[in-house]
Chains A and B, each alone.
Chain A
Amino acid sequence: MASSIRVRAVESGGVTSLKALVKHPMDSGFVKDSEGNVIPAHFIQMLTVSHNGKDVFVANWGPAVSKDPFLECRFKGAEKGDELTISWIDNQGESDSTTATVA
């Protein structure tokens, strides 16, 4: 059960730096396949990072975000050993979620 999300969160000096890599096609809806059929848009709309049930970072993404999107963000308030939840939902209703421990 491999998750689509790879996360690394490191706390240093009170600031947690989080790097997330999500495996997702991020099809824009403008690209055609080899037979000339338009590949329908399929992209992550929203990705949230939450700590203690509170969102600490929210990304609203459009189809112009690259395939297998990468995100880096920084926030205060989390300590080493705390658990973060990273979730995404795409425009076709698929979603995934994973947890990461702050190192």
Chain B
Amino acid sequence: MIDQTRRGFLKGVLGAGFAGIALGSGFVPMGAKAAMPDASNWPKKAFATPGVDETIAELYGLEATESDKISMDLPTIAQNGAVVPVTVETSLPNVTGIALLVAKNPNALAAEFEIPKGALPFVSNRLKMAETTDVVAVVISDGKAYKATQNVKVTVGGCGG
């Protein structure tokens, strides 16, 4: 009697163990087959255009109007121009794209984001800028372009003065 319960118990434990291993191993190979992004749509020309308005025209074929519905969060004084955190958020509806431009960089466009349906119009990124400059955020909403500008003072030498 006692022996039999012990058998049953052992069988049960072993069986469960094997089932667990089988289930676990079945999930391991997933994730290896991710497709690489295709950079052929990368807007090469827009990334090689100096000037803010020219870049917006090249990238979207639109002229941007100022909007107070775009909120930008970035330091007014950056001690290190190589790493300036920039956050953009907007309350504009149906946003399909956000672009970040640094006016005085050799090529103004720093980053461009596609906002598919379901993504919120929010992005945070870190940018490089060589000198004190305007940073422009462009938002495409309902097929129209809007922009907001904020100046960043880059202190040379990194002493925070």
Q: How many residues on chain B are close to A (CB under 8 Å)? A: 39
Q: Say whether A9 faces chain B, with CB atoms less than 8 Å apart.
A: no
CA distance A57 to B129 in the complex (A): 25
Interface residues of A in 60-77 (CB under 8 A from B): 60-67, 69-77
Classify chain A: how many residues form its interface, as a range. 35 or more
B113 and A60 contact, CB distance less than 8 A: yes
20 pairs of residues in contact across A and B, judged by CB atoms under 8 Å? A46-B37, A46-B38, A47-B37, A50-B34, A56-B116, A56-B119, A57-B114, A57-B119, A60-B112, A62-B111, A64-B111, A64-B128, A72-B122, A74-B119, A74-B122, A76-B118, A76-B119, A87-B35, A89-B38, A91-B39
Q: A83-B30, A97-B36 are in contact. List 13 more A-B contacts (CB 8 A).
A: A45-B39, A55-B114, A58-B114, A60-B43, A60-B114, A61-B110, A62-B107, A73-B124, A77-B118, A85-B34, A87-B35, A89-B38, A89-B39
